[in-house]
Structure 1
Amino acid sequence: MESLSSTLVSENIGLYLHVPFCKRRCTYCDFVSFTDFSQVKEYFEALWKEIELWSMFLPRIRVETIYVGGGSPSDVPFELLEKTLERIRDMFLIADDFEFTIEVNPNCEFVERLRFLDVNRVSIGLQAADDEVLKCVRRRHSVGDFFRTFETAKNFAKVNVDFIVGLPNESDRTIENDVHVVETLRPDHVSIYLLETHESEFETAISEVVENRYERFVEAVKEMGYDRYEISNFALNNSFCRHNLKYWRNQDYIGLGVAAGGHLGRIRYVNSPRLGEYISKLKEDDFVFDYFSRNDDLQELKETIFMGLRLSEGVNIEKLREIWWMFDPYELFHDLLGEFLEIEDGFLKLTERGFDLSARVLADVIDRVSLMAVGR
């Protein structure tokens, strides 16, 4: 594989680690995860080898953020997570002010131990403050379990709470409960997602009722003083997720583990989603890319716009012109400016209306960029 150091935009990167094991899959989940734990130790040994390989190719990088997701990281033996962090510290330079996030299901005992891993940001998957909804989608916790876990986590870390709007059995009362949780606990960060269904058990279309609930929840959170800094993410007192900002700003990060993706300069890769292949290839000291490509100018432009417009800050027009010197947002988006898009201080961004209709607006924007390239 080609030397990667010269492709980096910055020597400061993020690490994403995928822990693909979960004792029970939720009905809506479409992430790569496995309920069979028989290969969990082999998987982590392969993960450690992947960490070592990346450190050989990128020896001078500094890790600013670590994000552990899944799956359910809280379902695997704690000692394996400890050893993983030890490997990262041994192989990479870690920034003094690094952000270390881990996703957890409500579990007080596990969360209490996280302070010994130097975790400073905990993302708790509540999803809905409604026990009937949680049972319906096969979540293993109750709302009471969440409250106890939150109280444990807030003693040593910033806390994000995840919600999903549009789950089966949801009612207006569910959303009222969700709003009450945010209002009462005032977590540092809140993520509110509309349910996306692909091959999950429930193929519920997003109805007008669900969209209205989502909008009510979003408005209530904003009225509490949260900054909607990204389409689905809200922060108090600038408690943004620094790791996820790397995604949206098209910055460098390494994805580690089965099905994890990475972004290094213009290189994009995704690891194999097949557990057996991931383990066997790394035993041979080899990477396990399922996809590996270098963006051309058009791909880079489209990706930078698509990701950057998710942020309230928008995307720097001069940065876009460095990629594609003919880029002219005034000409390209003349009929969208004002209602859905705006240009402010050199940044192209979504308006409030654009945020509310972001899926449609972003699709239209990317289509126009593609047509622009054809007509150049």
Structure 2
Amino acid sequence: MAGLYIHIPFCKTRCGYCDFHTSTGLNLMRPLVSAIIKEIKTRSHFSESEMLHTVYLGGGTPSLLPDDLLNDLFETIYSEFNISDTAEITIEANPDDLTSDKIKFFRSLPVNRLSMGVQSLIDGELKFMNRRHNAQQAIDAIENAYNSGFENLTIDLIYGIPAQTMKSWAYTLDRALKLPVKHLSSYSLMYEKGTLFYNLVKNNRMQPMADESVLEMFALLIDTTNKAGFQQYEISNFSIPGWESRHNSSYWNGSIYRGVGPSAHSYNGKTRQWNIADNAAYIKAINNHESCFEEEILDIDTQYNDYIITRMRTMKGCNLSELLELFGREKHDYFVKNAQKFIQSGNLNVDNHIIRLNRSGIFISDHIMSDLMFV
């Protein structure tokens, strides 16, 4: 099941925690979208004749694009690729961009899934992160989108914010899960090199939340979503059964995906490609018919490690029969041997040749996966 990802690297403002490739300079928006369209037309062969079952416009902030540019993008996508009639078509949006007119326009596109960067429903926390919207704007955007016919709605939330408390996190979760959303992605705040928050911590101007408190918030996230009828189908992703993200699931299932736009990644099972993370350089390369990407040929060890990292993040876990078929006896036995201590300690469950994380294992998943990888 192949997927297409298109990276739109523009934001009106930059959040303090963001390390994605984005720019607040919007002057290159039109020439960059033109370059993306050219890349689609010249490199759509990457996934060969595969039918696309998911299309995802991410960023950045795709909802910033003018209507005519979004129309041009979708016309190109549908003319160059074979799109399934039941494809999941997602666009990311900031709540403050979702005016009534914008929502109405999105309804005119093939888009059938909206992903909103909500992050918190506490105004002080949103301001701390330099988010452009307030809590009420997020609530209104979700309700208006739903009332306009978007049934498949997903939101992002962040926990572990220095200004956050267990009480405020509980409020955000409870309020968010009362809204008509089918899916929730939630991550702990990270301090990635090059971000404002990283520099503040490095210069002792910000104190990260204690690890114990972050884990308590993660536990509350799991318990609260479960009570609301959501299933945790991946470490950081929760959904009403049947409303899982098909696009993100394709990454975890090892499916082929094609990435278009600056910094976008592609994968076809044998190679991984990544476009240059520079808007001006990307535009120049595309317009001059030059290479805009680097490529890595994946050896068997890398393929095995990718398999472990992706499969063990999901609640489906790792199928030992599949692992043996794909990677042979040596890798199979290596995995089983290194998994034993986590099975004995009660962090991994074994059921019908499938090994998966349980609740206690989720909390130390990075450690487990590190030990299962082949070095």
Q: 1:130 to 1:66 in 2, by over 3 A?
A: same
Identity percentage of aligned residues: 30
Q: Secondary structure at the match of 2:369?
A: helix
Q: Which residue of 2 aligns with 1:98?
A: 87
SS at match of 1:98: strand
Partner residue, 1:131: 123
Contact 2:50 2:82 in 1 (8 A): yes
The one-letter amino acid of 2:279's match is L
Corresponding position: 1:321 with 2:324: yes
Distance (Å, rounded) in 1 between the aligned partners of 2:303 and 2:181: 35
The change in CA–CA distance for 1:293 and 1:280 in structure 2 (over 3 A counts) is same
Residue 186 of structure 1 deviates from its aligned partner by 4.6
For 1:4-23, what aligned pairs fall within 5 Å after superposition? 12-23=1-12
Q: Residues of 2 paired with 1:182 and 1:266: CA distance? A: 40
Partner of 1:164: 158
Could you say what secondary structure the match of 1:342 adopts? strand
Instruction: Give the Å deviation of 1:240.
Output: 0.4
Following the alignment from structure 2 to structure 1, what is the Cα–Cα distance between the partners of residues 371 and 337?
14
- AA in 1 matched with 2:132: R
Contact 1:53 1:285 in 2 (8 A): no
State the match for 1:342 in structure 2: 349
Whether contact under 8 Å (1:125, 1:161) holds in the other structure is: yes
Match of 1:27 in 2: 16
TM-score, normalising length: structure 2:
0.91
Q: Find the counterpart in structure 1 of residue 204 from structure 2.
A: none
Residue of structure 1 in register with 2:339 after alignment: 333
**Cross-structure match for 1:201:** 196
Unaligned runs of 5+ in 2: 202-206
- Once the two structures are TM-superposed, the CA of residue 74 in structure 1 deviates from its matched residue by 1.4
Q: Cα deviation per residue 1:205-253 (whole Å; 9 max; x = unaligned)? A: 4512222122112211112221100000001032000000111111100
CA offsets 1:335-373 (integer angstroms, 9 cap, x no match): 11141222222222112111122122222222xx22xxx
Matched residue SS, 1:74: helix
Q: Distance in 1 between matches of 2:341 and 2:355?
A: 14
| Equivalent residue, structure 2, for 1:82 | 71
Letter in 1 for 2:141: T
Deviations for 1:43-101, whole angstroms, at most 9, x for unmatched residues? 01110011001224555221110011111111221221111010010111110100001
Q: Kindly report which structure 2 residues correspond to 1:214-293, keeping only aligned pairs within 5 A, or say none.
A: 214-289=218-293, 291-293=294-296
Instruction: Measure, in 1, the Cα distance between the counterparts of 2:40 and 2:358.
Output: 41
SS of residue matched to 2:190: coil
- Are residues 1:115 and 2:107 paired? yes
Alignment coverage as a number of residue pairs: 356
1:100-127 superposed Cα distances (whole Å, 9 cap, x missing partner): 0111110332233211112111111110
1:38 aligns with 2:33: no
Distance (whole Å) between structure 2 residues aligned to residue 58 and residue 312 of structure 1: 28
Instruction: Give the CA deviation at 1:319.
Output: 2.2
- What amino acid is aligned across from residue 14 of structure 1 in structure 2? G
- Corresponding residue for residue 67 of structure 1: 56
Alignment counterpart, residue 149 of structure 1, candidates 141, 158, 162: 141
Worse-matched range after superposition: 15-24 or 151-160: 151-160
2:196 maps to a residue whose letter is E
Match of 1:360 among 344, 367, 371: 367
List 4+ stretches of structure 1 deviating above 3 A: 56-59, 203-206
Q: Which residue of 2 aligns with 1:140?
A: 132
Q: Aligned partners of 1:45, 1:234: CA distance in 2, in Å?
A: 35
Q: CA deviation at 1:172?
A: 2.2
Residues 218 and 21 of structure 1: CA distance in aligned 2, closer, same or farther (over 3 Å): same
Distance in 2 (CA, whole Å) between partners of 1:181 and 1:174 is: 11
Gaps of 5+ in 1: 1-11, 371-376
- Find the residue that maps to 2:162 and give its secondary structure: coil
**Alpha-carbon distance in structure 2 between the residues aligned to 1:24 and 1:210:** 27
Cα contact 2:15–2:130 (8 A) shared by 1: yes
Q: Is the 8 A contact 2:12 2:24 kept in 1?
A: yes
Q: Give the stretch that moved more between structures: 323-332 or 222-231.
A: 323-332
- 1:112-143 alpha-carbon deviations (Å, 9 max, x no partner): 32111121111111101100111111111011
Contact 2:21 2:263 in 1 (8 A): yes
Distance 1:286 1:315 in 2: 40
2-side partners of 1:116 and 1:311: how far apart? Answer: 34
Structure 1 length-normalised TM: 0.91
Work out whether residues 46 and 268 of structure 2, in 8 Å CA contact, stay in contact via their aligned partners in 1: no
1:246-285, Cα deviation, whole Å (9 max, x unpaired): 1111110001100000111221111100111110111123
- Give the corresponding residue for 1:181: 175
SS of equivalent residue, structure 1 residue 185: coil
CA RMSD of aligned residues (A): 1.5
The AA in structure 2 aligned to 1:160 is T
SS in 2 for 1:87: helix
**SS at 2:220 equivalent:** helix
Greater percentage in helix: 2
SS at match of 1:39: helix
1:293-351 Cα distance to aligned partner (Å, 9 max, x none): 11111110111011100000012222222232121243232211141222222222112
Q: Residue type matched to 1:163 in 2?
A: L
